[in-house]
Amino acid sequence: MIVTDQRPTPRQYIALCRRSGLHRPTDEARIARMIAEANLVRTVWNGDTLVALLRAWTDWVYVCYLADIMVAAEYQRSGIGRLLVADLRARLGDRVQLVAVAAPTASGFYESIGFEKSDRTYILRRKQ
């Protein structure tokens, strides 16, 4: 599989969320902004079908915040998530720290690829 910079449409993003089991808003206008405002989006496609996505923000020199790593259920455990993170690491280099807030079901994935669990993460929850 090849990782690309091709950004999905909001409908493609929502469809991948559903296929991956990740819960995100389903309002297309909000999704469009989520995609547009991320300064780093990497995707994997099977023809015209989006099968995996990584969405993040980075300053390219110190830190990168991962917002989404999602893989369609039928492609999970095939190495695509690892491929997306390896692609990201290659683009960022060794001096940029990766930070992710994992969905409860994804903690094992993050730990398996070398992320350390932190007790120093703080969240102000959104109201909507």
pLDDT recorded at residue 111: 86
pTM of the model: 0.85
Structural domains of the chain, ranges and CATH numbers in brackets: 3-112 (3.40.630.30)
Residue-wise pLDDT tens digits, 44-102: 999 999 999 999 999 999 999 998 899 999 999 999 999 999 999 999 999 999 998 87
pLDDT recorded at residue 74: 95
Is the pLDDT score of 6 beyond 90? yes
Residues present in the chain in total = 128
Q: How confident is the model at residue 113 (pLDDT cuts 50, 70, 90)?
A: confident
Which has more pLDDT, 126 or 28? 28
DSSP annotation of 39 reads S
DSSP 43-70: EEEETTEEEEEEEEEE-SSSEEEEEEEE
Is the pLDDT score of 120 beyond 90? no
Going by their DSSP bridges, the two strands 63-71 and 97-100 should be labelled as parallel
User: Mean pLDDT over residues 98-108, rounded?
Assistant: 81
pLDDT recorded at residue 62: 95
Largest CA distance in the chain: 41
114: left (phi over 0), alpha (psi -120 to 50) or beta: left
